[in-house]
Amino acid sequence: MIKTLPFLFITCLIIGCSGYKMQDLQIALEAGETEKAYTNLQKNAPKKPDIPFLFELGLVAHYANHFQESNAALDQAGDIAEDRYTKSLTKEAGSLVTSDKLRSYSGTRYERLLSHYYRALNYVYLNQLDGALVECRRATALINYFKGEDEDYDFFGAGFLAHLSGVLFEAAGEWNDAYISYKQAAEYYRNAAEKTGVKIPADIGRSLVGLARKLGFVDELARYQEQYGKFSPRPENTGELILFYESGYVPPKGEDALTFPILKTDDVDDEKFVPTLMGRQGRVYKDIELEYILRVAIPTIDSHRPVLSGIKVAVGAAKASGVLVEDVENIAIETFNTQRPIILFRTLGRTLLKYLAYRKANKENEALGLLVNLAGAVTEQADTRSWQTLPNQIFMVRMPLPAGTHTLNLSFLGENGQVRGRDSAPDIKINPNRITFWNHRTYF
């Protein structure tokens, strides 16, 4: 027991370390000082960068127009995540007696998929469309892996990535791949709609009709026209703008403190005792019945919608509204809600081990028991790691425009649809029969 104490206290220091402050990062981003935010992350980079840091670095580098550096960070995060499907037994064992923060973090499925969104955009802005298509294929392979791994796969983020793939394949003139991607997008959006609240975007139906006509799929064209409507082909020598509007922040994870009573009549060595404890959350017992109160810390996540939650774009007389294509907040909350029972079970099991260690030490020596109890309490921290700079929602504006250079007049909408802010983007070049991509972020 005495030999274990230094490890516990050293662990307290390890899991409490942080090289950068998220608040400082967000202040710089919200002030439009993306280069400052990027420099801040570089200066505070850990000696061995892990996935959460690499996600933040990759996204901030993207906004600071360091597209190659962004891809390097996101690629590194992806490689680490792949490797971690083989668990680290040492860290897993350590987490059983200390904190979930010692568990290897692999990123959530939706985080890993969204990293491909930013990597694809990086390649687009580097004028390397082939690289963007590689990211589409990698995202497709990852979705297929998730589908094969879990028969109850939730498809969170899959619809958006398939949708993005369809647009990018279409931009490259790879019509068959675009057609397949749009079909997958419709299926994936439909599968996840009940939990995400995101319906199949209308442009998917328009695209399926147009591509079925272009590819000469007569039966499919008739079916899609009946399902989605009849659409006229785009006028020749007209270009197209696809704008992704990213709003707010995904809600961060917080920490929730819970208590669970151990009764004097309990058999704490019973393998079924942890499920028994789980059923006692919120229940009150008389002091005479109580042996001990287990205090645990688990993560929590709450809705935090931004003020701005929609967009309209005007270019001269042409106008278009943004369509919600990815609700990251809903996905984050639903993902956590699915994981919470497992997290609570693991946390209670770990805390129960600490209690047994305390009880044994206390029988030998009260001072030692006090130290063990203190070490157990200090090391009990919730794992709140996540990709915190991700947007809350992503909207897509898709509008045909005449070839030339245009200024985009942007109107940002509040929850009730009223205009709450404006901005403009000059010198957006539209080429004939081509697609121009652009993404814009607000934080409030």
Give the up-direction half-sphere exposure of residue 256: CA atoms within 13 A in the CB hemisphere.
14
Give the contacts of 98 (CB within 8 A, at least 6 positions apart): 8, 11, 15, 350, 379
pLDDT value, residue 87? 58
d(CA 357, CA 322): 57
> 88-102, 118-132, 264-278, 411-425 — which is least confidently predicted?
88-102
Residue 300 pairs in a beta bridge with: 254
pLDDT value, residue 7? 46
- The amino acid present at 47, given as its one-letter code, is K
Query: What is the average per-residue pLDDT within 409-434?
Result: 94
Q: Higher confidence at residue 401 or residue 19?
A: 401
How many other C-beta atoms are found inside a 10 Å radius of the C-beta of residue 257?
Answer: 11
Q: Would you say residue 48 has pLDDT above 80?
A: yes
Range list of H helices, 44-157: 51-63, 67-83, 89-97, 109-125, 129-149
Helix or strand (DSSP H, E) at 64: none
CA angle, corner 358, sides to 352 and 361, nearest 5?
A: 145
Write down the mean pLDDT value for the chain. Answer: 89
Question: Two tokens at 115?
Answer: 């990293």
Q: Would you say residue 373 has pLDDT above 60?
A: no
Cβ atoms 32, 21 nearer than 8 A: no
Altogether, the residues listed in the chain come to a count of: 444
| Three-state SS at 29 | helix
Q: Would you say residue 383 has pLDDT above 60?
A: yes
How many other C-beta atoms are found inside a 10 Å radius of the C-beta of residue 53?
Answer: 20
Is the pTM of the predicted complex or chain greater than 0.85?
yes
CA angle, corner 183, sides to 177 and 189, nearest 5?
A: 130
- The amino acid present at 231, given as its one-letter code, is F
d(CA 116, CA 138): 8
pLDDT value, residue 378? 59
pLDDT level of residue 20 (50, 70, 90 thresholds)? confident
